[in-house]
Amino acid sequence: MTDGIGQALLQAVSATRGHFLYESGHHGDLWLDLDSLFLDAARMRGWAAALAGQAAGLRAEIVCGPLTGGAFLAQFIAAELGLGFIHAERSVENGTVQYRIPPPLAATLAERRVLVVDDAINAGSALGLTLAELRRHGALPAGIACLLTLGEAAGRIAAAKGVTLLALAALERGMWRPEDCPLCAAGTPLVPPPTIAP
């Protein structure tokens, strides 16, 4: 199912198996180093162009991505499509993670069709919070695009919003609520995400 572009993406991504805590609060058995994908800007531009080609018929007016990776990819795609670009910034408000669009950018969103972009969609927390923030400002979702999906969350979110999901590749992984995690049940400790040596 994965074409040559998707295969190249899967070969480029650095994946580590283990027992990890995701931003969503879920536990999972796969950690991806996505930041390293952006080191080769020409390669990333090619992936963005492939997604932009698929998104051309969605009638988007603006492209939005959550910082950091989603915003970087969204900016590439916006340039390919000749569209405006905005980003959503992660913040913690009263202990709850939010993604907020800066006020000067949010003022441009009412009734505009927005393509929401992320580098990878796992549990979908950044995607879901960005979509909620766009809705808060009166924007209309035009579609969802990403380099990579992990599991079924991206498809469920797209179906719930009634929009098209575009992805270059997919990876399978285990993801569970903490109370249902088989790795916890087996006594496997959580480990910190791997870091890349400088």
Model confidence pLDDT, tens digit, residues 56-76: 999 999 999 999 889 999 999
SS3 label, residue 154: helix
Class of domain 4-185: alpha beta
Query: Among 23-37, 80-94, 173-187, which is the least confidently predicted range?
Result: 23-37
Residue 123: pLDDT band with limits 50, 70, 90: confident
SS3 label, residue 184: helix
Tell me the C-alpha distance between 118 and 41, whole Å.
16
Report whether pLDDT(1) > 70: no
Residue for token pair 């991806």? 32
Q: What is the pLDDT of residue 195?
A: 64
Q: What is the pLDDT of residue 147?
A: 97
Model-wide pTM > 0.95: no
